[in-house]
Amino acid sequence: MTDRHHVVQEAVIGGKRVGAPESFEVLDPSTGQPCALVARCGAEQVDQAVAAARETFETVWRHRSAADRATACRRMAEVLLAHRDELAELETLDTGKPISQAYVDVDAAARYFDFYAGTVQALFGDTLLAQQDLIAYTLREPHGVCGHIIPWNYPLQVTARTVAPALAAGNCCVLKPAEDAPLTALRIGELALEAGFPPGALNVVPGYGEEAGAALADHTGIDHLAFTGSREVGQLIMTKAAANIVPVTLELGGKSPHLVFPDYDPAHDVPLMVRSIVEHAGQNCSAGSRVLVHESVHAGLVEELARVFGALRIGRGGTDPDLGPLISARQRDRVLAYLELGRQAGRLVTGGAAPDDPELAGGFFVQPTIFDDVPPDSRIAQEEVFGPVLSVTPFSTPHEAVALANGTPYGLSAGVWTRDLPLAHWLTRELRASQVFVNNYSAAGGVELPFGGYKLSGFGREKGFEALREYTRCKAVAIAVQPPPVAG
């Protein structure tokens, strides 16, 4: 057990550490052992956090210029990088991901704050054409107090992804991290004060979803809600937001396809496809979990995928393997159940079980797995597994490939692998996804790239300049122009 298991990690509310009547244990996914005690916040602490955010918004933050807010965001980026080692180690402890991936997450979190430090100063309204006796223009104004409920897979990145544009736009935030991985979000709440954000601008209330999360979603003092997580919980969040007439941004998972054509480049393309499904052990909303491949190159691609999968190293995050554990025993067992469904639906190529390495005993590990000839209507091809599980399905024509790609309830990302540019342009228009990558793939990639859902993957956009629009309202102003009376 670490020192964090002996001292309760408290909430950050109004610039102070605030406790709760109870605490809960956080487990290290690599070992299954407790690694931290965290305050179990509920409605009382959420009330305090919303009140603190409201006070800071009304008295301080909404009156700051865009340049001042940009300065705080830029300093936040610098502070995150100054604590790079600490944050990466904490993220790996919390989530089990390989340490090199955790460093990427720290850098990305800093990039979010740096990006919005620059772009918020370009968040202008418009001058509108109106009657001759009227001057009209629009203002972009912050919502007020924003609630953020984030998942356990990328707590560093998603915290920054959601609060950086909100804070830059002039809102104050109350963030509820996932109970499985709350540690880096809590640390960001502390570091925001070091960066110069006023107390109450960013409040972090850890706890269980049905307690702290529900209290935040229900709260009448929230002006905007952002949620990243499962479709089922997203539906509950949306219902609660509807009761209070609160706008929401929802990112609810995916079943992202790769479309592979005969002219793909095996040496360049296959490693990127593999990385897209094994990064953080496949626990990624936009993981490339389906490969749709032209029948003429089907067998060769499966052989190459199996070769690369067979060379992957599984291990504890601190040893920097190719993939680490799943987040919990519950998630491991869920993925193992999908492996049984995969065996019934298609042909097991490689993997298909938990590893039997005694060095990994106690951790929540699953072998990277490929199923071939997977029927497109099977559960393994239709449902989000959230693990290192890849399904392969052949196609014969581009139109069939598009039908297969769009044939799930989800729509987040897609990869296109062809050097035929006219075909690639056509495909980008036909695919129902918010991000389409051609001859590259970065799961939820690019701080600058707008990201969100089609269909049951949700709606609204995070990342890029679009996120600033999500975290502001548009106000129209019309001023009458009256000429002075004519003298005499």
Known catalytic residue: 285?
yes
Please compute the mean of the pLDDT values over residues 196-205 and round it to a whole number. Answer: 98
The stretch 18-36 carries a mean pLDDT of 97
Catalytic site residue from 285, 304, 384, 470: 285
Report how far residue 203's alpha carbon sits from residue 11's, in angstroms, rounded to the nearest whole number: 8
pLDDT at 6: 67
Mean per-residue pLDDT, 54-58: 98
In order of their start, the domains of the chain are: 3-252+457-475 (3.40.605.10), 256-438 (3.40.309.10)
Separation of alpha carbons 415 and 272, rounded Å = 10
Which contiguous run of DSSP H or E holds residue 113? Answer: helix 99-119
The pTM of this model reads 0.96
Query: Would the CA dihedral through 36, 42, 46, 49 be positive or negative?
Result: negative
Query: What is the predicted pLDDT for the residue at 256?
Result: 97
Mean pLDDT score, 348-370: 97
pLDDT bin (cut points 50, 70, 90) of residue 197 is: very high
Asked if pLDDT for residue 446 goes beyond 90, the answer is: no
User: Strand pairing partners for 475?
Assistant: 139
pLDDT of 347 above 90: yes
What spatial distance separates the first Cα and last Cα of the chain, rounded to whole Å? 90
Please report which helix (H) or strand (E) contains residue 203, including its range: strand 202-204
Please tell me the predicted confidence (pLDDT) of residue 131: 82
**Order of strands across the sheet that contains 347-350:** 347-350, 369-372, 389-395, 288-294, 256-260, 413-417, 435-438
Catalytic residue among 91, 179, 211, 251: 251
Residue 360, pLDDT score: 96
Q: What is the pLDDT of residue 443?
A: 61
pLDDT digits (tens, 9 = 90+) for 272-299: 999 999 999 999 999 999 999 999 999 9
Residue 329 has pLDDT above 50, yes or no: yes
Interval 1-14: pLDDT, tens: 346 666 899 999 99
Q: Model confidence at 482, in pLDDT bands (50, 70, 90)?
A: confident
Integer Cα distance of 313 and 325 in angstroms: 11
Average pLDDT over residues 372-388: 98
Mean pLDDT on 246-270: 97
Residue 443: DSSP 8-state? T
Q: Give percent above pLDDT 70 in the chain.
A: 98
Q: What is the pLDDT of residue 5?
A: 65
Q: What's the pLDDT at 7?
A: 87
Tell me how many degrees the CA angle 487-135-125 measures, rounded to the nearest 5. Answer: 150
Each residue's pLDDT tens digit, 126-169: 999 778 889 999 999 999 999 999 999 999 999 999 999 999 99
At 316, the pLDDT band (50, 70, 90 cuts) reads very high
The mean pLDDT of the chain is: 96
| pLDDT attached to residue 150 | 98
Average pLDDT over residues 4-29: 93
Mark whether 146 is an active-site residue. no
Q: For position 2, what pLDDT does the model report?
A: 46
